[in-house]
Amino acid sequence: MTDQSHIPLAERLRPQSLDDYIGQEHLVGEQSVLRRAIKSGNIPSMIFWGPPGVGKTTLANIISNELKRPFYTLSAINSGVKDIREVIDKVKNQGLFGGNSAVLFIDEIHRFSKAQQDSLLGAVEKGIITLIGATTENPSFEVISALLSRSQVYVMKPFTAEHMHQLIGRALERDELLSQYKVTIEEDEALLRLGGGDARRLLNVLDLVVRSGGENEVVITNDYVQSIVQENLAVYDKGGEMHYDIISAFIKSIRGSDPNAAVYYLARMVEGGEDPKFIARRLLILAAEDIGLANPNALMMANATFQAIERIGWPEGRIVLSECAIYLATSAKSNSAYAAIGAAQAKVRETGNLPVPLELRNAPTTLMSDLGYGKGYKYSHDYENHFSGQEYLPDEVAGTAFYHPAANKREASVLEWLKKAWAKYGYGKG
């Protein structure tokens, strides 16, 4: 038996076939499009998008096992244009074109610059390579449009509790190290909570908990898991699994109007080498979701921050992020716009595609005009104060209020106007 004690459990247990793969049933379940493509050997260039530990790299490895084609792997963290060109030249020199093209897997493709992504484009277009990229970030923002348009994006989901239980059972049964222990699981809430939908994180914690006691018999309880993990925090977290916990605390601190906590968690991310664009993007979302109409300048501030980060990067970018975080934390808060679009979407799902009132439709043809398109429309600028008071919603949902101003100085004045102009929506009642 080879010594595997220093190999992470997630690596020791990595599945080698689709039948052993856990999760992502919507992509690789029986009769799924991707599974059929893999089995046929005719896959498109693709991007796997999902949080850490959901099987992106594992699925790429399985594809490499299934396909009868050369398979190359690069990591965007330590690879550059030179490495990409070396792979492409190697494939060209071997005469691999068309259906026999090689597969190139790029982990964390969102870390590639535009120039690095551009260097892939020609080979992908000509079929010299089939690209498989893995990313934790939205590819619409991080992958150039030319490359994205030539790739199929597959969204990968976090593991469910059922998936996590399957992983735990498989590890205890099949792993040659853990199977030597007699493990009794009395409570698993702490294991699942620490896993957080991330298979790699779950398995690393499980490995740590089982093998840290020095006994062949291990009884797993919530308290026991917490005590082992607290003593060995650096062991299970050295791969950066705190990523989502820290950004969550950062956002919640700003939402809670605490600039000190916001700057503290920002510093944690800066010191940890977090991608500044990831932080800036989350600030943009927060400015719209949590501050919104209480201070519309917040969105402008966050957008300017994102643009500044794109221009200057680290280390000076930390100053811009700090300024924005403090500004957003000390700003008035409102989620009224966020709540309004949520309420409107819920109504659309409930009522379906209601017809647009005829008076609001364009009438570019005589037939449409004869059918009443546009008839009865009141042009707002023809009325006093540029306001006609016409009903714009379909009859079935007429008079429904989706927007409810929050209690802040700016929206208070908006509410007063709404009370006078749109009394039929019930503003000011209750």
DSSP secondary structure string, 312-367? H-TTTHHHHHHHHHHHHHTS----HHHHHHHHHHHHHHHH-SPPPPGGGS---SHH
Query: How is the chain split among helix, strand and coil, in percent rounded to 5?
Result: 55, 10, 35
Q: What pLDDT score does 202 carry? A: 87
Helices marked H in 113-181:
114-126, 139-142, 145-148, 161-174
Burial state string for 307-328 with b = 16 or more CB within 10 A and e = fewer than 16 = ebbeeeeeeebbebbbebbbbb
CATH architecture of 243-329: Up-down Bundle (1.20)
Q: Nearest 5°: phi and psi at 130?
A: -105, 120
**Strand ranges across the sheet with 71-75:** 71-75, 102-107, 129-135, 46-49, 152-155
For the chain, where do the domains classified as CATH 3.40.50.300 start and end?
A: 23-155
pLDDT at position 365 is: 65
Structure tokens at 221: 């309880």
**Which CATH number, 3.40.50.300, 1.20.1440.230, 3.40.50.740, 3.40.50.1010, labels domain 23-155?**
3.40.50.300
DSSP single-letter state for residue 158: P
User: What number does CATH give the domain 161-237?
Assistant: 1.10.8
3-class DSSP state of 102: strand
- Nearest residue to 210 (alpha-carbon basis) of 224, 198, 193, 194: 224
10 Å Cβ neighbour count for 333? 21
Helix (H, G, I), strand (E, B) or coil at 121: helix
How far apart are alpha carbons 8 and 18 in whole angstroms? 21
Q: Which residues contact 236 (CB under 8 A, 6 or more apart)?
A: 194, 201, 204, 205, 208, 229
With CA atoms as reference, report the closest residue to 133 among 157, 115, 114, 117.
Answer: 117
pLDDT at position 47 is: 93
- Looking at residue 383, its pLDDT comes to 76
Cis peptide before 315 (omega within 30 of 0): yes
Work out the end-to-end distance of the chain between its first and last CA atoms, rounded to an integer number of angstroms: 74
Determine how β-strand 71-75 pairs with β-strand 217-220. unpaired
Q: Which residues contact 234 (CB under 8 A, 6 or more apart)?
A: none
Q: Which residues contact 326 (CB under 8 A, 6 or more apart)?
A: 259, 262, 263
At 152, the amino acid letter reads Q
Question: pLDDT tens string for the chain (430 positions)?
Answer: 455 667 788 888 888 888 888 888 888 888 888 888 888 878 889 999 988 888 898 998 888 888 877 888 888 777 778 888 888 888 887 764 444 578 889 988 888 888 888 888 888 888 888 899 999 888 887 888 888 888 889 999 888 889 989 999 998 888 888 888 888 898 888 888 888 778 888 888 888 888 886 678 888 888 888 888 765 544 444 344 466 778 888 999 999 988 888 998 899 888 777 788 889 999 999 999 999 998 999 999 999 999 998 888 778 889 999 999 999 999 889 998 999 988 888 988 888 888 888 777 776 666 656 666 667 788 778 777 777 787 878 888 887 888 888 888 888 888 888 887 787 777 755 4
Q: Which two tokens stand for residue 104?
A: 């190139």
Q: Identify the pLDDT of residue 158.
A: 85
Residue 157 gets which letter from DSSP? P
pLDDT for position 96: 45
Spatial distance between the Cα atoms of 121 and 214, rounded to a whole number of angstroms: 53
- Report yes or no: 108 and 116 within 8 Å, Cβ to Cβ: no
Identify the pLDDT of residue 393: 82
CATH of 355-425, one of 1.10.3470, 1.10.10, 1.10.287, 1.10.3710: 1.10.3710
pLDDT given for residue 82 in this prediction: 85
SS3 at position 129: strand
Spatial neighbors of 10 by CB under 8 A, at least 6 apart, are: 53, 199, 200, 203, 204
Enumerate the CATH 1.10.3710 domain ranges in the chain, comma separated: 355-425
Predicted confidence at residue 291, as pLDDT, reads 92
In the chain, ranges of CATH 1.20.272.10 domains: 243-329
171: alpha, beta or left? (left if phi > 0; alpha if psi -120 to 50) = alpha
